[in-house]
């Protein structure tokens, strides 16, 4: 009977494709929007993930994220270095500055000052150049977002001069960095050089990056640092999560994406529900005849479930493939750089598809089950 | 075994059926007592609204009577559970609907095989048996065609094949010739008699097609929910 059910469904091509479209569209909308949402809010942690060597981030107690920070006095660095279990501690500066572009426009950039001696604070991978280029005067390393933002395609930014807060900066390398939440261009330079580029107040030290010794865990070290220095210390993972939480708490992004996901679900229910009901209505005489002949309600349920299952599997597959094509298609765009589909999202979409089909299938099935076999003689 | 002791194919006693229409209760059948013998081609004849569709629905176990007993080949069908009744129909009754109700997206042979597939037989075997039945009905060459590629008469034969493929003991037909011309109608009736009627089988036909009245073994006339005539020919006043 399952075979008959499948043929009944696929034989009505318009409705079959309509159902597939409904499920595929819903899956695409839910999966794609959730994927963008997750990747976007994870950008709130990009500043942390771009510095993989730091086990602990130390900051003023009011600082919340890599971008929302209150600079500390330079003495904080020595206080941190004095804490037992600290293998190394280096200064880290993060500030905003303005760059005048070749077209004469002003563009806001992030300036990151990394430790002069060890260059800790730079992203792990360089796309062009070597980290040591920072030892040359006025050197900056630009992130790959900046190369596409400031320079025409095909033009190498290496050697280009920028007017950074009225001072000269020469690009000598390109870093492979995860873009920030706002996809702002980031320039990396030595800490001492960054102090010149960024006009400041008395306190200039944004963070102290710490490496834990082998004898102590990052969690334990954060407790020690906080106890001994009165500063705020967060492990790498904690601070990354802080960045994500900050975006969730302070922007309308979750609500907006949530609305879109909900709309995807509602559109799915509407299209699939309507098409399924039409399909059942068109075949109600056949279902009635089957019931009269001697097909039990349980078998009818299985038939409708098989029809829903087939539509679900194919439609869901198309939706997921659509999302993969979307993410893959935009992977070259810096805005979508590094985007991936977390494994949980297809499962969430699958659950949504299941609910859509269970709901619409149940509504459609009710009409079939309510149909008296005797109706076929009327 | 003599005819006198032969078990009736259908035996009804005091069958009453009421329908609710708003506040009103309308009695459609008024205590029908009836015995239909095996080996007979029985017509149930009556005007629209006379209760013949209700009667045939009750006799084949798809509509519960308000009161009364219905036995089909000795089984009190309305004492069965729902599932038992559905299975009883599947094993013992073949249906031919006025509008055929073939499944449009499967071919003629598969349509004819539906009762066998519903009984759990494998699709290949069921289809092979259905093709044999289509052969009997001289339509095997159309076995691979979809219903919409067949003429009305051919669709009717597929519907007959579906009703007979699982060799039911009772075949119930609703206006089987209504959509056919006189010649095709008579051919369908000949086929039904040839294939459907046997010593241990019975065919009941609901019809008001006077072109085929002469083919019946027995004619029951239903008027206002009561049997007003029971004979081998139609009464003269009809």
Interface of B with A (CB under 8 A): 53, 56-57, 60, 62-63, 82-83, 86-91, 93, 95, 97-99, 101-106, 110, 114-115, 117-119, 123, 162, 174, 206
**pLDDT value, residue B36:** 87
Among the listed residues B78, B10, B17, the one whose alpha carbon sits nearest the alpha carbon of residue B220: B10
Supply the DSSP symbol for B7.
P
Helix (H, G, I), strand (E, B) or coil at A15: helix
Among the listed residues A265, A288, A272, the one whose alpha carbon sits nearest the alpha carbon of residue A352: A265
**pLDDT value, residue A209:** 95
- Asked, for residue B1, whether it belongs to a domain, the answer is no
Q: Is A378 on the interface with B (CB under 8 A)?
A: yes
CA distance A314 to chain B (A): 20
Smallest CA–CA distance from A292 into chain B, residue: B62
Q: pLDDT tens per residue, chain A (378 residues)?
A: 888 889 888 888 888 898 899 889 889 988 988 898 888 888 888 889 999 899 999 999 999 999 888 999 989 999 999 999 999 999 999 998 998 876 778 888 999 999 999 999 999 889 888 898 998 888 999 998 888 888 888 888 898 888 888 888 999 999 998 888 888 899 999 999 999 888 777 888 999 999 999 889 999 999 999 999 999 999 999 999 999 999 888 888 888 888 888 888 888 888 888 887 888 888 888 888 888 888 888 888 898 889 889 989 999 999 999 999 998 888 877 778 778 888 999 999 899 889 888 888 888 888 788 777 777 666
With CB atoms and an 8 Å threshold, state whether A294 touches B99: no
Predicted confidence (pLDDT) per residue in B187-214, tens digit: 778 877 877 777 788 889 888 877 778 7
**pLDDT value, residue B6:** 66
With CB atoms and an 8 Å threshold, state whether A293 touches B63: no
The predicted complex's ipTM stands at 0.82
- Asked, for residue B4, whether it belongs to a domain, the answer is no
Among the listed residues B152, B133, B123, the one whose alpha carbon sits nearest the alpha carbon of residue B94: B133
CATH number reported for the structural domain that contains residue B177 in this entry: 3.40.50.300
- Asked, for residue B3, whether it belongs to a domain, the answer is no
Main-chain phi, psi angles of A373, to 5 degrees: -55, -30
Smallest CA–CA distance from B48 into chain A, residue: A378
Q: In whole angstroms, what is the distance from residue A248 CA to residue A42 CA?
A: 10
Contact between B107 and B134 under an 8 Å Cβ cutoff? The reply is no
Distance of CA B201 to the CA centre of its chain: 12
With CB atoms and an 8 Å threshold, state whether A292 touches B63: no
Helix (H) / strand (E) element for B10: namely strand B10-21
Q: Is A373 on the interface with B (CB under 8 A)?
A: yes
The tokens for B22 are: 């708003």
**pLDDT value, residue A222:** 94
- Asked, for residue B174, whether it belongs to a domain, the answer is yes
Percent of chain B at pLDDT above 70? 96
CA distance A316 to chain B (A): 24
Quickly state the pLDDT bin for B98 (edges 50, 70, 90). confident
Under 8 Å CB-to-CB from B144, ≥6 apart: which residues?
B107, B108, B109
Range B146-155 average pLDDT? 87
Contact between A107 and A98 under an 8 Å Cβ cutoff? The reply is yes
B93 chain-A contacts, CB cut-off 8 A: 294
Smallest CA–CA distance from A286 into chain B, residue: B101
- Asked, for residue B189, whether it belongs to a domain, the answer is yes
- Asked, for residue B238, whether it belongs to a domain, the answer is no
Contact between B12 and B68 under an 8 Å Cβ cutoff? The reply is yes
Residue B113 lies in domain: 10-231
Q: In whole angstroms, what is the distance from residue A9 CA to residue A21 CA?
A: 14
CA distance A11 to chain B (A): 5
Residue A194 CB-half CA count within 13 A? 28
The tokens for A278 are: 């039409």
Angle, CA of A260, A279 and A277, to the nearest 5°: 55
Angle, CA of A88, A89 and A91, to the nearest 5°: 150
With CB atoms and an 8 Å threshold, state whether B99 touches A285: yes
B103 chain-A contacts, CB cut-off 8 A: 4, 7-8, 11, 286
User: DSSP letters along B51-73, please?
Assistant: SHHHHHHHHTTSS--SEEEEEET
- Asked, for residue B193, whether it belongs to a domain, the answer is yes
Contact between B210 and B37 under an 8 Å Cβ cutoff? The reply is no
| Site from A294, A299, A302, A310 to mutate, B interface, most B CB atoms within 10 angstroms | A294
Q: Provide the whole-model pTM.
A: 0.76
Query: What is the domain count for chain B?
Result: 1
**pLDDT value, residue B4:** 47
Smallest CA–CA distance from B105 into chain A, residue: A11
Quickly state the pLDDT bin for B3 (edges 50, 70, 90). very low
Integer angstrom CA distances of residue B198 from A68, B38, B63, B202, B203: 92, 7, 26, 7, 9
- Asked, for residue B236, whether it belongs to a domain, the answer is no
Helix (H) / strand (E) element for B76: namely strand B75-76
Smallest CA–CA distance from B124 into chain A, residue: A3
Q: Where are the beta strands (DSSP E) in chain A?
A: 56-59, 86-100, 106-114, 125-128, 139-143, 161-164, 167-176, 185-190, 207-212, 232-235
Integer angstrom CA distances of residue A363 from A2, A10, A38, A65: 20, 20, 33, 49
A377 chain-B contacts, CB cut-off 8 A: 53, 56-57, 62, 97-98, 174, 206
The two most distant CA atoms of chain A are separated, in Å, by 94
Integer angstrom CA distances of residue B5 from A233, B1, B14: 100, 7, 21
Range B96-111 average pLDDT? 88
Integer angstrom CA distances of residue A150 from A104, A375, B100: 11, 73, 73
Predicted confidence (pLDDT) per residue in B45-82, tens digit: 888 888 888 888 888 888 888 998 998 888 888 888 88
Main-chain phi, psi angles of A220, to 5 degrees: -65, -40
Predicted confidence (pLDDT) per residue in B113-143, tens digit: 999 998 888 889 999 999 988 888 788 888 8
**pLDDT value, residue B1:** 42
Range B33-54 average pLDDT? 86
Q: In whole angstroms, what is the distance from residue A42 CA to residue A345 CA?
A: 14
The tokens for B182 are: 């006189």
With CB atoms and an 8 Å threshold, state whether A372 touches B62: yes
**pLDDT value, residue A255:** 87
With CB atoms and an 8 Å threshold, state whether B101 touches A285: yes
Contact between A367 and A280 under an 8 Å Cβ cutoff? The reply is yes
B88 chain-A contacts, CB cut-off 8 A: 294
């Amino acid at each position: 009977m399952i075979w008959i059910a499948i043929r009944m469904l696929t034989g009505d091509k318009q409705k079959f494709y309509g159902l597939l479209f409904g499920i595929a569209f819903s899956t695409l909308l839910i999966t794609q929007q959730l994927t963008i949402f997750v990747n976007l809010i994870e950008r709130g942690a990009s500043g942390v993930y771009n510095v993989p060597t730091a086990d602990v981030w130390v900051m003023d107690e009011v600082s919340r994220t890599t971008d929302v920070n209150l600079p500390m006095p330079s003495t904080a660095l020595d206080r941190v270095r004095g804490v037992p279990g600290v293998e190394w501690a280096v200064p880290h500066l993060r500030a905003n500055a303005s760059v005048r572009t070749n077209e004469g426009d002003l563009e806001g950039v992030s300036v990151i000052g990394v430790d002069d001696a060890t260059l800790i604070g730079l992203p792990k991978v360089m796309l062009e150049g070597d980290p040591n280029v920072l030892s040359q005067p006025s050197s900056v390393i630009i992130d790959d977002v900046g190369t596409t933002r400031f320079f025409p395609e095909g033009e190498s930014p290496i050697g280009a001069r920028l007017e950074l807060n009225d001072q000269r900066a020469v690009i000598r390398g390109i870093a492979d960095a995860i873009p920030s939440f706002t996809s702002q261009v980031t320039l990396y330079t030595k800490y001492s050089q960054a102090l010149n580029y960024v006009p400041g107040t008395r306190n200039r030290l944004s963070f102290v990056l710490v490496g834990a010794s082998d004898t102590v865990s990052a969690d334990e070290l954060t407790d020690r640092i906080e106890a001994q220095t009165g500063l705020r210390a967060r492990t790498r993972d904690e601070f990354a999560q802080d960045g994500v939480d900050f975006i969730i708490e302070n922007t309308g992004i979750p609500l907006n994406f949530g609305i879109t996901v909900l709309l995807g679900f509602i559109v799915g229910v509407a299209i699939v529900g309507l098409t399924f009901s039409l399909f059942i209505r068109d075949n109600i005489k056949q279902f009635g005849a089957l019931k009269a002949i001697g097909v039990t309600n349980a078998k009818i349920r299985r038939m409708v479930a098989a029809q829903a299952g087939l539509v679900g599997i194919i439609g869901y597959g198309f939706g997921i493939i659509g999302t993969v094509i979307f993410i893959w298609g935009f992977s070259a765009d810096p805005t979508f750089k590094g985007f991936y589909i977390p494994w949980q999202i297809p499962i969430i979409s699958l659950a949504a598809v299941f609910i859509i089909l269970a709901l619409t299938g149940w509504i459609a099935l009710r009409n079939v089950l309510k149909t008296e076999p005797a109706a076929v003689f009327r | 075994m003599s005819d006198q002791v032969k078990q009736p194919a259908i035996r009804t006693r005091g069958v009453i059926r009421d329908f609710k229409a708003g506040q009103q209760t309308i009695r459609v059948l008024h205590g029908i007592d009836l015995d239909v013998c095996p080996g007979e081609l029985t017509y149930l004849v009556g005007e629209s609204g006379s209760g013949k569709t209700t009667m045939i629905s009750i006799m084949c176990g798809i509509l519960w009577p308000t009161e009364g007993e219905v036995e089909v080949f000795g089984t009190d069908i309305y004492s069965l559970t729902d599932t038992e009744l559905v299975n009883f129909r599947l094993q013992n009754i073949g249906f031919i609907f006025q509008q055929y109700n073939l499944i449009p997206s499967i071919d003629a042979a598969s349509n004819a095989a539906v009762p066998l597939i519903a009984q759990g037989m494998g699709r290949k075997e069921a289809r092979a048996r259905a093709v044999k039945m289509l052969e009997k009905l001289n339509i095997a060459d159309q076995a691979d065609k979809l219903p919409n590629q067949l003429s009305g008469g051919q669709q009717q034969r597929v519907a007959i094949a579906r009703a007979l493929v699982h060799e039911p003991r009772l075949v119930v037909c609703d206006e089987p010739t209504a959509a056919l011309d006189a010649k095709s109608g008579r051919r369908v009736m000949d086929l039904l008699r040839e294939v459907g009627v046997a010593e241990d089988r019975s065919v009941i036909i609901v019809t008001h097609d006077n072109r085929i009245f002469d083919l019946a073994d027995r004619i029951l006339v239903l008027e206002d929910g009561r049997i007003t005539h029971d004979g081998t020919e139609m009464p003269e006043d009809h």
